[in-house]
Structure 1
Amino acid sequence: MADVAAEAHVSVKTVSRVVNHEPGVRPDTAERVRAVIERLGFRRHDGARLMRQGRTFTIALVVEDLANPFYSQIGAAVEREARIRQHQLITASAEGSPSRERAVIEALVGRRVDGIVVVPADESASSDAVLEASHTPIVYMDRPVRGTPRDTVLSDNQGGIRSAVEHLVAHGHRNIAFYGDDPAFWTARQRRDAFVATHEGLGLPSSPRVSMGPHTVGSVRETLIPWSAGPEPISAVITGNNRITLAVLLALRELRLPLSLVGFDDFELAALIDPPVTVVHQDPAAMGQKAAQQLFARLLGDESPAQTVVMPTRLIVRASGLRRAPLGR
């Protein structure tokens, strides 16, 4: 900036006013300064300006797995909201590790991001002390945390699983199994508990058959074999997320079992599989949008009590919930 001032024969303050579009500079002087700026290739140092303002105009998103389509849709929605408000988005993965999540959040706070949206690795608010000290707003997504109340955006896990069970029962299924994720996850427990409660509430004849993960094709196969045999074989399966749905589909194909299926989470190509897969659709884009909007409300000074928003799910009926005839050998 000093070089521009010397070349244009003005003060550094005058150059600053021109660069920042401030009043108080004569038009001919401003034109001369802009010409020198263009000739010298000067660029404003946004970082220094923002630091003086106490803002960096960046927000962050911390998720479990950047490769999972569920989280990529969340990321796209948060980025759109940030872009609308002329903010940059930093995205990071905690890889399901509470210690890594803590390190990532502390690093982001150290970089002075204005706010953070987090899909927490577990229910312990491991970075509360850091966040409190920095006054960095945070919004949790998909899973709540214990400790200091924070804005949280959740999906209607119970309602989604209930709709899956009721759909299968309406098509004549009475012996239904549930494959859930690792019970260390709050969402996995919520969906498992909803399955058991709905199963018992509808008075289905057999006891609820539940297998919690983490799952592989092999672990699914090990339980499908005994559950699909005997005097009360299962006729349908409900899965707790898109990764488990894929494992179940592969196991069913290997075992040539004609079981019906409803998956929690829609996934790419679900409508092209034979039969097309009925799913409980969460709306990750709407969840990400809501979380980002709540974060920006806090950045604009909203000091109302922390709120929890539960986003609705929707059953997308295709064909996999119908009773199926045995496969030919």
Structure 2
Amino acid sequence: MLRFLEYLLIAGYIAVLLVISHWIGQQAYSWMPTEATAEAQKVDSLFSFLTSVGAFIILGLLGMMLYSILFFRAPKNDYSEGHPSRGDLKIEILWTATPTVLVLWLAFQGFNIYQQLNILGLGQIVHLHTPLEEPAYAVASNDKPKPAAETIEVFVKQWDWSFRYPNNVTSHELHLPVNLRTRLNMHAKDVLHSFYVPEFRLQQYIVPGRNIDLVVTPTRTGKYKLKDALFSGTYFALMDANVHVESQQQYNQWLTKAEQEATSIKNQAVAEYSQPPKTLFKSGWYTVAPEQRAIARSAVPEAMLQGSRPKG
């Protein structure tokens, strides 16, 4: 009878643990920045699932320790050794099989979600154009990238982001129409950079000498911040750009306005570079001197284009 009550207690605890773990996993959605793309929803689903699994494991271990203290506590002055775990075939199989099944389950869940991202076109459009090579797609070669509504050229260098739109308007701000698939064709002029907007949940390396495409589908209007996720030197923290997700009408109005007006945006790296050093001793380390940004509607320098296009 006592053994039956113990099993009943364990079963009840597992049921409660599943409910609590699921609740914690749902709370994980609020720990991340606001979802702003269709791709972000899939990534957050994976994060929530992993959080639920982690909560179940840690609470389960705590429960096992508490259970052992309550039901397997040694009597006073009993210094004899307990049942040896080494050499016990059942225990060996249990703690080998359980982590194996858990890892395979997590791998399957992750693969399933990333397959859903491929349906959205993410895996199909991350490809590299290299000299004398065909585009290398992340899925089967007979699959073709889904069409995007618009293509925006992204140029990055130390210490500046710039964007060229279909009407040849060049800006230091990224504007995207909401609920439309937009292809970002990215070029790095000098060193390795990384395109990262936390709310988009997409991070893509930009390799010098290669054109790298990334399709994004914004779902929430607002203003976001583009960061370079790779450390690249002295002014790394200042290398950001504003990202505006807006309605199609607002996007078209901005394009028309940008085409007619020439605006200049302050480059914070230039301001920092022009100030006297705030340290007592000069390190003598080499750093790239930032250049003042050009006007918003100016054309992208041809040297940048040549540095990012493959030679054939």
Q: TM-score range by the shorter chain?
A: under 0.3
How does the TM-score come out when normalised to structure 1?
0.24
How does the TM-score come out when normalised to structure 2?
0.25
